[in-house]
Chains A and B, each alone.
Chain A
């Protein structure tokens, strides 16, 4: 398998992934692994405490403090933010991040700062995320930053410690997969539906071992917010890396941000980034082609993101599945989700709605949901919250009056954070509650012990909020 990957390394003809990889090789070990230099590292309160402890236990310094940027996003409350955190594990976790970053000279963005937000929302907002860079974070959704043509990957806590200490990781080059999205999205269909349809098609392990590059007319037409949603969920198809070649949309987005290249470097950076495209004729190990115009709004029905169908579908029947492992898996999912085979998805009632997360907590997402909600009311009995991905998204949405639309519709308008995507603060489902959610994972217990998650786009979540059941948003447009 690796032999094949090497054959593709024809000098002068390279993929985007290989170009960024090659420009960060500190050393080749001659066994297919390379020592890769890491330019940027985002740090949060959940995956870093053991890594900082490791540094201290070994009495090793943090090599390059300026390469790291820290924020507490997972465990912070989205209500009553001005008050001190209540005593407990979340508070001690946040305090530990504050003291660790202070001790090691790493920039920390406080919870009430105007720059606060989810790591994968604020990295790009600040211009910390740059095309052609390598970026890591102890968080699987780091694939998000690949939308800028960065080689970005989620890592474990031991790897975080390795980056703190050495500014490198010893990695094996992945095989390459090209996902081409042709055509144009139909009305009511979003990038979330594209990525859910892709995951349903190739499975949660379909991308394992690959770095995915997204290309094609549908991608070229997408604004950066949507490209980030796409790359964010490549990990749900098993791939740590999802990338899009930087184009003028990317460059226009990056320049002018606080940490973007300054005037003196702008021309050189622009030229370097424009060269980050896959060369014509570069070989991929696997290719998938999707037709955007044939994708309908998607909803997950099970407990993996691949257990997803068009909203017009019906709950599948395990009895129809021949493979015993797959049959058992489907039966477990339906038992957990409390769903019966043959039920129409549009007949499934919901209790809660969550709009937010590093997948769908950006301005384009809130605009999409607000458009559906404008002048309408959330169905009786449904409790709905919007959690902007960052303070900046929240502020920009308020400047456009989106907060009024959400509040008038009966949604709660919260402060930034991961919130009910991972249920590590007070925002969580009660056992048995069913949620229409714009997050990225419908795993058992993900939104709270016994909670049931249906993944969908912000537009679809808004539609579900209005009717109180899973709903084809196209009926409300």
Chain B
């Protein structure tokens, strides 16, 4: 994962409420097999109507999105985040996000920031005026062009992983594997029915492959 340091960029404003992941990345494109190149499908059906902010200079170079409430609700499709990342978005700022979307962002180098009230309105105004602003992740602070600052919250381990560009799976394998093995052994002893055995799996023995 690409390390996330300080980001200074212009933001695009999408104040609409409840933009779901079907709008961000329509389901019919889920059949595309890879992660790269999905930026062309980002907000596909909205962009097809013309005049969409991300197709309008200078916001076609935006690296930040300022969103309305409940951005990214609905489907768990990580393709929505891959498409944002592929387009060049590094940070989304809004009052609330879909939970799975938010988790997916962190795993793809995108920083989701919760901002409310006046501070959100300020960020939105800066976005609409195409004035670049700075997202300082180490300091957990957004700095506007007039030096107004807004602090934001981020879970320490998420922050660390973003800054270092860490792969969480690799970390778990490196540091927690013994604990996983020990837990698994105890769990199997205490709840044997949670581990499928040969007799149960024999239920599938008569499966015939599709023609």
Interface-lining segment among A288-296, A443-451, A468-476? A443-451
Residues of B within 8 A of A261 (CB): 193
Interface residues of A in 111-162 (CB under 8 A from B): 111-113, 115, 126, 130, 132-133, 138-140, 154-159, 161-162
Interface size of B as a range: 35 or more
CB distance from A341 to the nearest CB of B (A): 18
Query: Is the pair B20, A443 in contact by a Cβ cutoff of 8 Å?
Result: yes
Bound-state CA distance A109–B156 (Å) is 41
Centre residue among B15, B16, B199, B210 by max chain A CB count within 10 A: B210
Specify which of A26, A113, A170, A265 is in contact with B208 (CB 8 Å cutoff).
A113
Query: Is the pair A107, B30 in contact by a Cβ cutoff of 8 Å?
Result: no
Q: Knowing A90-B31, A205-B70, A445-B23 are in contact, say whether A165-B169 is a contact too (CB < 8 A).
A: yes
Bound-state CA distance A100–B80 (Å) is 23
CB distance from B210 to the nearest CB of A (A): 4
CB distance from B49 to the nearest CB of A (A): 11
Interface-lining segment among A6-14, A32-40, A183-191, A363-371? A32-40
Query: Is the pair A168, B180 in contact by a Cβ cutoff of 8 Å?
Result: yes
CB distance from B125 to the nearest CB of A (A): 14
A-contact 0/1 string along B184-211, CB 8 Å cutoff = 1001000111111101110110011111
Bound-state CA distance A96–B158 (Å) is 32
Specify which of A24, A74, A133, A204 is in contact with B18 (CB 8 Å cutoff).
A204
Bound-state CA distance A33–B33 (Å) is 32
Query: Is the pair B169, A130 in contact by a Cβ cutoff of 8 Å?
Result: no
CB distance from B150 to the nearest CB of A (A): 19
Query: Is the pair A325, B15 in contact by a Cβ cutoff of 8 Å?
Result: yes
Bound-state CA distance A136–B210 (Å) is 26
Interface-lining segment among A45-53, A222-230, A381-389, A393-401? A45-53
Query: Is the pair B31, A75 in contact by a Cβ cutoff of 8 Å?
Result: yes
Query: Is the pair A422, B31 in contact by a Cβ cutoff of 8 Å?
Result: no
Total A-B residue pairs with C-beta atoms closer than 8 Å?
220
Specify which of A110, A168, A172, A262 is in contact with B199 (CB 8 Å cutoff).
A262
CB distance from A38 to the nearest CB of B (A): 10
Specify which of B18, B78, B98 is in contact with A157 (CB 8 Å cutoff).
B78
A-contact 0/1 string along B21-51, CB 8 Å cutoff = 0110011101111110000000001000000
- Counting CB contacts under 8 A, is B146 at the interface? no
Query: Is the pair A60, B169 in contact by a Cβ cutoff of 8 Å?
Result: yes
Query: Is the pair B31, A240 in contact by a Cβ cutoff of 8 Å?
Result: no
CB distance from A324 to the nearest CB of B (A): 9
A-contact 0/1 string along B66-95, CB 8 Å cutoff = 001110011111110100000000000000
- Counting CB contacts under 8 A, is A457 at the interface? no
CB distance from B91 to the nearest CB of A (A): 18
Query: Is the pair A156, B107 in contact by a Cβ cutoff of 8 Å?
Result: yes
Bound-state CA distance A306–B96 (Å) is 16
- Counting CB contacts under 8 A, is B17 at the interface? yes
Q: Knowing A113-B207, A204-B18, A204-B73 are in contact, say whether A424-B27 is a contact too (CB < 8 A).
A: yes
- Counting CB contacts under 8 A, is B99 at the interface? yes
Residues of A within 8 A of B30 (CB): 46, 74, 424
- Counting CB contacts under 8 A, is A332 at the interface? yes
Query: Is the pair B210, A449 in contact by a Cβ cutoff of 8 Å?
Result: no
Bound-state CA distance A203–B203 (Å) is 42
- Counting CB contacts under 8 A, is A250 at the interface? no
Q: Knowing A47-B76, A204-B18, A444-B45 are in contact, say whether A156-B196 is a contact too (CB < 8 A).
A: no
Specify which of A112, A170, A441 is in contact with B22 (CB 8 Å cutoff).
A441
Residues of B within 8 A of A98 (CB): 209-210
Q: Knowing A162-B169, A445-B22 are in contact, say whether A156-B104 is a contact too (CB < 8 A).
A: yes
CB distance from B105 to the nearest CB of A (A): 9
- Specify the chain B residue showing the minimal Cβ separation from A26: B183
CB distance from B114 to the nearest CB of A (A): 11
Residues of A within 8 A of B31 (CB): 46, 75, 89-90, 93, 424
Residues of A within 8 A of B200 (CB): 258-259, 262
Residues of A within 8 A of B22 (CB): 441, 443-446
B-contact 0/1 string along A164-208, CB 8 Å cutoff = 011110101000000000000000000000000000000111001
Bound-state CA distance A40–B193 (Å) is 12
Interface residues of B in 96-143 (CB under 8 A from A): 96-100, 103-104, 107-108
Query: Is the pair B103, A159 in contact by a Cβ cutoff of 8 Å?
Result: yes
- Counting CB contacts under 8 A, is A216 at the interface? no
Residues of B within 8 A of A58 (CB): 169-170
Bound-state CA distance A27–B186 (Å) is 13
Residues of B within 8 A of A304 (CB): 18, 20, 73
Residues of B within 8 A of A158 (CB): 78, 104, 107-108, 168
- Counting CB contacts under 8 A, is A209 at the interface? yes
Q: Knowing A111-B210, A112-B210, A265-B193 are in contact, say whether A26-B16 is a contact too (CB < 8 A).
A: no
- Counting CB contacts under 8 A, is A379 at the interface? no
Bound-state CA distance A170–B96 (Å) is 21
CB distance from A119 to the nearest CB of B (A): 12
B-contact 0/1 string along A223-253, CB 8 Å cutoff = 0000000000001101110000000000000
Query: Is the pair B208, A205 in contact by a Cβ cutoff of 8 Å?
Result: no
Bound-state CA distance A367–B124 (Å) is 51
Query: Is the pair A154, B194 in contact by a Cβ cutoff of 8 Å?
Result: no
- Counting CB contacts under 8 A, is A5 at the interface? no
Query: Is the pair B187, A37 in contact by a Cβ cutoff of 8 Å?
Result: yes
Interface residues of B (CB under 8 A from A): 15-18, 20, 22-23, 26-28, 30-35, 45, 68-70, 73-79, 81, 96-100, 103-104, 107-108, 155-157, 168-170, 172-173, 176-177, 179-180, 183-184, 187, 191-197, 199-201, 203-204, 207-211
Q: List 5 A-B contacts (CB under 8 A).
A: A40-B194, A259-B200, A269-B193, A441-B75, A449-B26
Contacts A325-B15, A444-B45 known; 7 new A-B pairs at CB < 8 A: A208-B70, A239-B99, A262-B197, A265-B193, A325-B69, A424-B31, A445-B45
10 nearest A-B pairs in the assembled complex, by CB-CB distance: A261-B193, A89-B31, A158-B107, A156-B104, A156-B78, A258-B203, A443-B22, A157-B78, A140-B76, A205-B70
